Structure formats: C-alpha cells, structure tokens
Structure 1
Amino acid sequence: MESSHHRERATARNTLWRWLTQAVAAAVLVTAYFLLPIDDLGPRRPTLSWTLFGLTLALIATLLIQQIGHVLLDHPHARPGLVIPLLMSLSILVFATAYQALAQHPGELIGLDTRLDALYFTLVTLATIGYGDITPHGQAARLVAILQILYTFIFLTAAATALSHQLRTVLLRRRTDHHPEP
C-alpha cells in the first residue's frame, strides 16, 4: 500500500514538473517573440523571410509528425504532453512573426501595427473567429492566412488529437492500476 502511495506522489510531482516546464518554456517563447530583432524581416528581405518561414514551419511539422507517431505507436520514451504543446505554441509564434513582417509593407494587413496585433490576429485566425478588425488585403498576407488555416487543419489538429489520445491512454492505465479487474 505504501509503494502505491509513493508512486502516486511521484506521478503528481512529475505532472507538476511537466506543467512548470511547459509554463516556463512558453514564457520564454513568448518573451523571445516580443524581444527578438525581427524587424529586418519582411519587405526589406523577402527571400530570407520566406525561406525562414518555410523552413521553420517544415521543421515544426516534422517534429509534430514525429511526436504524433510516438503517441500512436505508444513509444516508451515519448513525451508528447511536453513537446507537442511547445511545438504548437512555436508554430503560432512563427505565423505571428510572418504577419508582423508582412504588416511592414503598406496595405498588406490593415489594422496590424504591433507584435501584439500580429499575435492576436494569429489566434483569431486559428480560432476561426474573424472579428474583422485586422484584415489581410495583400496577396502575400492572404497566402499566409491560407497557409495558417491549412497548417492548423493538418498539423495542429493532428497534434491535438494525439494529445487527447495520450491523455485518454494515461487515464485508462491509471484507472486500471487503481481498480484492477477481478
């Protein structure tokens, strides 16, 4: 009985540690988004901007697919509860950075003036709310909005599904461990 109690406490500590790690990592990502000197991206360096945008999204998608595979194959060393939310957050920040860079070109994104505006627009687009206060008028901004919608539909939805599957599996295991069938 005592070993069961120790296991439960260890599990609780691990869960708390994971949440704390995620919170710190998310805070670091958001802080970096607001502080990194990305103002040179956009219309002044279009080739570099589009290359970084494409490569970064491809890398995040690859890592997400790897984590999704770990969940589906029940890989013993998988940490999707830690990695997937960070990759999802990073993809959101990449799109926000792209919108911020595009907004430097007059007429591309109407109503987007700051990095907070860009993050807000990214989340509004992700949630498919569309308040209409920020609108993509230029072709490049519309292309990035389309890419964000497709990226969300394919990768972020699959990642959220994998997290849900992982959570369900963990809860079923805990339930079975606490209430073994006779």
Structure 2
Amino acid sequence: MMQRRWQTLTEWPLLVSSVLFLVAYAWQVIGELQGISNAVAEAIIWVTWALFLIDYLANLALAPPARRWRWFYTHLFDLAIVVLPMLRPLRVLRLVTLLSVIQRTAGNAIRGRIILYVSSASALLVFVAALAVLDSERGHGGGIQTFGDAVWWALATVTTVGYGDLSPVTTEGRLIAVGLMLGGIALLGVVTATLASWIVERVAAHDTEADAATVGHIRALESKIDELQSMMRARD
C-alpha cells in the first residue's frame, strides 16, 4: 500500500524530471556546449539521475519484506535505468518513464490509448536515439556527425529499412542501434495488431448487421405466413 502511494505521488514529478533531462541532454548534444552552459546542462542531468535513484531505492525499501526480493528481480529493467545512464550515451534510458506515464494517461478507449502511445513512443524513440547516437559517434570518424544525419539514421533504422549509407562505428552507437531496431520491431507489431483488431471489429459489426437483417426478414415472412394461414382458416 505504501509503495503504491509513493508511486502515485512520484509519477508526475518523475515525468517532469524526464522532460527536464530530455531538454538538458538535447541542449548539450545539439548545441555542443562548452564552459558554463555545459556545466548547467550536466548539473540538470545529474540531478534528474539522483531523483531516479531515490525513486528506485524508495520503491525497493517500501516493497513488502516478504516480497522484496521478488520486486528486485522483477524490476531489473528499472535498475538498468538507474545504473546504465552512468555511461553517457545510455542516459536516454531514463526517458522510459515518459512512456510509462503516457501509457497510463492516454485516455479511456483502448484503441485510442494504443494509437497515442505508439505515436508518442515512436517520435520519442527516434528523437532520443538520434541524440544518443550523435553523442557517441561525433568525433570518431564515422558518417554520423550532425543531428540531421542522426535523425535520418534513426528513421531508417526504426523502420527496419536500413539503407546503410550511415552506420555507427563505436560500441555504444551499435548498442543504441540494436535497441532502436528492437524498439522499431516492437512498435511495428503493436501497429499491426491494432490494425488487425480494427479490421476484425469492422467485419464482426458487418456480420452482426447482416444477421440482424436476416432475422428481421425471417420474422416478416413468418408474420406473412401466419396472416395467410389465418385467412385460409377464415374461408374454411
């Protein structure tokens, strides 16, 4: 109960923290900051990291003692979000919080929630992957040296087109590429499943209307037959 209350209280602060991190990280990477500006951006990034660390430790401490170990090994991804951002290009993992909040607040209709979640997740995935790969590739002799190139690479990768004109050369960049490809396949699967469910629903609705019309015709025929039988009995 206390853990759930904590999660409810921290949901929006973590969302704000994620947005602040995204702004600071984008400012730092795209602007190639130096001096005081870079120090300010770094300070915001590390403060948001500290908030995520506090949230993880609080959730672990508030988990029921009998189920604390279970909570730990079922939330290894949350641990990764806290630990892996120590590596600069993998800081974008903190933005997973944005996706979780979007998923919970996207609306009441199931299909509307899925469409909003997928569109938001796709845009966010492409943007942060472009930032991360540019952060890891710039200055290492590869083809991705500008934000425009990074966005083009991210779009080609997430859609599984993979033209091959641009590709990462660093280990961090390749790890980001693997994550982006897996994310693209997952999002494509969600879109396909949503489209399939819409088609099935439309076909089912058409079949229901056809069945209702058929039942109506049968009842009308039965009524006519009853009238004819009544008329024949009256003549007899």
Shorter-chain TM-score: what band?
0.5 to 0.7
Matched, 1:83 2:114: no
1:165 matched residue in structure 2: 196
In the alignment, the residues of structure 2 paired with residue 156 and residue 163 of structure 1 have an alpha-carbon distance, to the nearest angstrom, of 11
| 1:107-134 residue CA offsets vs partner (Å, 9 max, x unmatched) | 16x1223222111101211233333321
CA contact (8 A) 1:41 1:49 kept: no
Unaligned stretches of 5+ in structure 2? 1-22, 33-37, 43-84, 215-236
CA deviation after TM superposition for structure 1 residue 64, in Å: 8.2
SS of 1:107's equivalent?
A: coil
SS of 1:123's equivalent?
A: helix
CA contact (8 A) 2:89 2:133 kept: no
Structure richer in helix, relative to its length: 2
1:24 matched residue in structure 2: none
Scaled by the length of structure 2, the TM-score of the pair is 0.45
SS of 2:172's equivalent?
A: helix
In the alignment, the residues of structure 2 paired with residue 172 and residue 76 of structure 1 have an alpha-carbon distance, to the nearest angstrom, of 23
Higher relative contact order, chain-length normalized (CA < 8 Å, sep 6+): 1
Matched, 1:40 2:31: no
Residues 76 and 54 of structure 1, relative CA distance in 2, 3 Å threshold: closer
Matched, 1:107 2:140: yes
Matches within 5 A, 1:5-20: none
Which structure is larger by alpha-carbon Rg, 1 or 2? Answer: 2
Residues 162 and 55 of structure 1, relative CA distance in 2, 3 Å threshold: farther
Matches within 5 A, 1:78-157: 78=110, 79=112, 80-104=114-138, 106-107=139-140, 110-153=142-185, 155-157=186-188
Unaligned stretches of 5+ in structure 1? 1-35, 68-74
CA contact (8 A) 1:102 1:140 kept: yes
CA contact (8 A) 1:96 1:121 kept: yes
| 1:60-94 residue CA offsets vs partner (Å, 9 max, x unmatched) | 3x468779xxxxxxx96321233322222222222
SS of 1:102's equivalent?
A: helix
CA contact (8 A) 2:160 2:184 kept: no
Residues 49 and 173 of structure 1, relative CA distance in 2, 3 Å threshold: farther
CA deviation after TM superposition for structure 1 residue 138, in Å: 0.8
Q: Which amino acid aligns with 1:164?
A: L
Scaled by the length of structure 1, the TM-score of the pair is 0.56
CA deviation after TM superposition for structure 1 residue 40, in Å: 1.6
Percent of aligned positions that are identical: 20
Residues 162 and 128 of structure 1, relative CA distance in 2, 3 Å threshold: closer
CA contact (8 A) 1:112 1:118 kept: yes
